[in-house]
Amino acid sequence: MDTQPRSPRPRVAADGPLDPTVLALLGDRVELLPWEATAGPILPVDGLYTYGHPAVDAEMLDRLPGLRVVSNYGVGIDHIDMAAASARGIPVGNTPGVLDGATADLAFALLLAASRRVVEGDRYARSPAFTSYDPGSMLGREVHGSTLGIVGLGRIGEKVARRAIGFDMAVCYQNRNPRPEVEAALGLRYSSFEQLLAESDFVVLCVPLTDRTRGLIDANALGRMKPTAVLVNVSRGPVVVTDDLLAALRSGTIAAAGLDVTDPEPLPRDHGLLAMDNLVLTPHLGSATDRTRRRMAELSVANLLAGLDGLPLPSPVPP
């Protein structure tokens, strides 16, 4: 039982440091506590605001009997034990919808950079080794006219498909359930996972991390891909088996990869992947634009305040 005197303002534990936009939106509506406040009943906690990806598990929820809401700054909620939250009647909010375009843009940036060797080319163009234009060097893979396979046709996957159509690509997809209305509207083709891997010149991963998708891209899956194929991951690192990808990039099982997420994240500084020229890596930047971050801040703060007030969340994660 929480016997401590209540603060006039609800107390919210957040992992920070928080973005100034989030802080401005919160104003003096809540009393912010450091994430360490979740470690024990030092102060009652009314809300959790997960800004990075701190784990929220059953034990933590049991330590916080007064908890009214968990609000996540982002769409992926694999760090939150949803079953435990729902069993305790604690609503969880996230920010889908506002970050799809930015994340799909980054998927395309990685796809283009990896296929046209943009980062490698940048390094070469700055180096003393670049002494004259050589039409025979640094040839890449053509994007237009190729086939894109999208694994996970949710909101982000659909935006990736729309961009691919603009690049004159044929698009196939794999999803838990076929989406005939999107197929018809965009001219996509539903494929089995194996067929998608075998036929695609580019495979883009847009699935959430779940028990079904953890380790989905392993040595077996990589072995089914074309030796000229490029893998792009904008979902979560553990969807790909890191060591298997390293082996595939080293042996030429696939041609190249573009990763916005890794497992672990970040990779150890001496990890073999960091030495690979056929890998383009970004530090989890999928939704990192000013406008998208602002929208994520607005929606996550709205979720938090609604939950603290006992109101329905504007964007609840289905239990």
287 makes contact with ligand DGY (CB under 6 A): yes
75 binds ligand DGY (CB under 6 A): yes
DSSP assignment letter at 238: G
Question: Site mask, ligand DGY, residues 112-141, x = CB under 6 A?
Answer: ------------------------------
Q: Give the pair of three-digit tokens for residue 9.
A: 């303002």
Largest CA distance in the chain: 76
Alpha-carbon distance 167 to 144, whole Å?
Answer: 5
* 217 lines the binding site for ligand DGY (CB under 6 A): no
Task: Name residue 167's amino acid.
Answer: F
74 binds ligand DGY (CB under 6 A): yes
Q: Which residue has the closest beta carbon to ligand DGY?
A: 74
Give 99 or 256: the residue with its C-beta nearer to ligand DGY.
99
Active site (annotated) includes residue 214: no
Q: Residue 122: left if φ>0, alpha if ψ -120 to 50, beta else—which one?
A: alpha
Among the listed residues 265, 271, 294, 298, the single catalytic one is: 265
Q: Does 110 bind ligand DGY (CB under 6 A)?
A: no
Q: Which is nearer to ligand DGY, 147 or 287 (CB)?
A: 287
Task: Please tell me whether residue 70 binds ligand DGY under the rule CB under 6 A.
Answer: no
Question: What does the buried/exposed string (b/e) look like for 257-289 if buried means 16 or more CB atoms within 10 Å of the residue's CB?
Answer: bbbbbbbeeebeeeeebeebebbbbbebebbeb
Which stretch of DSSP H or E encloses residue 159? helix 155-166
284 annotated active-site: yes
Of the candidate residues 56, 64, 92, 99, the single one contacting ligand DGY (CB under 6 A): 99
Catalytic site residue 212?
no
Count of chain residues binding ligand DGY (CB under 6 A): 6
Residues contacting 66, CB < 8 A, separation 6+: 2, 44, 45, 46
Contact residues: ligand DGY, CB under 6 A: 74-76, 99, 286-287
Q: Which positions are catalytic?
A: 236, 265, 284
